[in-house]
Structure formats: structure tokens, C-alpha cells
Amino acid sequence: MERQERILIIDDSPVQAERLKSILQDDYAITLANTAEMGLKYAREGDFDLVLLDVVMPEMDGFVLLKKLQEEIITQHTPVILITSLNDVENEEKGLTLGAVDYIIKPYHAAIVKARVNTHIKLCRYRQQLEQKAMIDPMTGVSNRRGYDTCCFKKWQEAVRLKTPISLCMMDIDKFKVYNDTFGHPAGDKVIRAVAGVATDYLRRSTDFFARYGGEEFVAIIQGNDAQTAFAQLTRLRKAVESLHIAHNPEVSPWVTISIGGVTVLPKLGDSYDTYLKIADTMLYDAKRFGRNQVVWSNERMEQLREQ
């Protein structure tokens, strides 16, 4: 089922807020805030698609609150419509210059409010779809590097907060340049798609994440598993790629294979994601050095796990 869009109404007058709510509640999930402070708190915590913001409020007016919303990473992309009885041009200009997407003047007609809100919700939905699309690699249909960058920060923070292990993993296709030189780039693209397909099958839990980092390089993040379990999971993936039996250039290898490096860590506050990504990269380097087509992993005590 599609998620119902969420609207936050911030208005110091409960009567006004209720009136707006009654206009919109058939189509949207509505949250009310009767002070600017409350509004700011809700906006930070909730995942809102639109904010309807009253301009004239005591203590903090709508303009000040709008500025605050625009400055914060979490709230800056949520569109804001200002609602006010201030019908002079300067105030309207001020609101729009501060970044409001629209400006509704009281007294208003319910149908007009509905129509404008619907328009901005539609635009918001469209923008979100574009953002989603921009994070997908068109060739394989898996996440791209941008999707990975967005995701890894979130997952790392989560692991710190929940005190759960997280595994970072890098992999690439062995001797891929030779493959391309031998069979041509269209064939190489097919191999990349095949590997991405297998990896998606083996990393399909909601706590797994897989992305194409670029070229023949891939990255994965696994939440919750200990080193031994993650290592075993990636070993199965490596074997599954090998058993596709895609013929390689026989001078380097009978089949197309992948090498995988990874690290599992219980991250603490202040630990840097990049430090561990480098360790995963070093493990991948070792996997290549030890002869490719294998998984090399570093556990929580920095001991190396290798396939027998």
C-alpha cells in the first residue's frame, strides 16, 4: 500500500489549525502544532511531506521558524506553505524569498487550499522519485555510488546507536580488464549485470545493502551479523558467482570469479567509517594477492578470516 502523505500544520490558533485539518484530513495524515517550538520539534522528528505554517505567532513568528527549518539538514527539503492574513506584498515577497513554496492568504477558500496543497504534494512526490532514480545504477538496477554514500552514513550511525555489529565489504570481478579485452565491452556489461543479480539474491534481507561502486567494483553493508556469519554469507555469494560458469579467457581463469574483502566491527562513537572501509579494501587486496576468487575478512579483533 502506498504511504499516506504527512502534513504538519503549525498555527498558534487551535481554531485555525482545526479548520485546516478538517479541509485536508480526508487525503492526508495531519499533525497539529500550536506553537512554533512544537512545530520545530515535530518537523525534526517526523517525516513530513509538507508544512503549513502560520506567519503571525507569539514568541517565534513563521518567518523565523521558516528560516530555522531551511537551515537544518533534516527539514530543509520539506516544502513549506505560509498561511497568513498579512496581505501586503512585502510580507509575501519576504516569505517566498526565505524559501516558502507558496503563500496562502486568509480568509481562504477550502477548495483553493486543497488544490494548492495537492499541487505541492505532487511536486514533492515527483522530486522524491527523481532522487530515488538518481541513486540507481541504470545498467544493473542496483544502487549506485550515490545511493551507497547516502545509505552508509545512516547505517553506520544506526550501528553506533544500537550497539550492533556492522560489516563493510568490497568486491570486484577478477581480471575484468582481460575479460573485456577478450570478449568486448557488451559481454563485459553482461557479466557485471550477472554478478549484480547474484549478489542481490544473496544480500536480500532488509539489513543488507548492496551497490555498484563503479566499473566492476561493488560494495555491501551487512547489519547485525557477527564476522563469522558475514564471512560465510559472502563466501556463499562468491561460490554462486563461480558456479554461473561464465567462461573467462582460459589464459587467466576457466570461469568468471570475484574477490571479496570485508571487515566486521562494533562501532563506537567517534569511530570513523572511512577507517574501516580502508580495512575492507586491504582485505580485498589480500584476497587478490592470495590468488583471487576468495573472501578475506577481518573480525572484531582484527584477526583475518580466510577460506580453507
Least distance to Mg ion, CB of residue 11, Å? 6
Contact 258, 223 (CB under 8 A): no
Residue in 83, 123, 75, 121 with CA at minimum distance from that of residue 102: 83
Residue position matching grid coordinates 505560509 = 82
The residues near 119 (Cβ < 8 Å, ≥ 6 apart) are none
Contact 172, 284 (CB under 8 A): yes
Contact 288, 259 (CB under 8 A): yes
Q: Based on CB atoms, which residue is closest to Mg ion, 36 or 234?
A: 36
Residue position matching grid coordinates 580466510 = 306
Q: Based on CB atoms, which residue is closest to Mg ion, 12 or 172?
A: 12
Least distance to Mg ion, CB of residue 43, Å? 17
> Which three cell numbers, joined as nine digits, stand for 259?
574477490
Q: Based on CB atoms, which residue is closest to Mg ion, 76 or 85?
A: 85
Q: Based on CB atoms, which residue is closest to Mg ion, 106 or 193?
A: 106
Least distance to Mg ion, CB of residue 40, Å? 16
Contact 24, 81 (CB under 8 A): no
Question: How far is residue 245 CA from its own chain's centroid?
Answer: 34
Q: Based on CB atoms, which residue is closest to Mg ion, 54 or 137?
A: 54
> Which three cell numbers, joined as nine digits, stand for 45?
522528528
Least distance to Mg ion, CB of residue 23, Å? 17
Least distance to Mg ion, CB of residue 80, Å? 15
Residues that bind Mg ion (CB under 5 A): 12, 54, 56
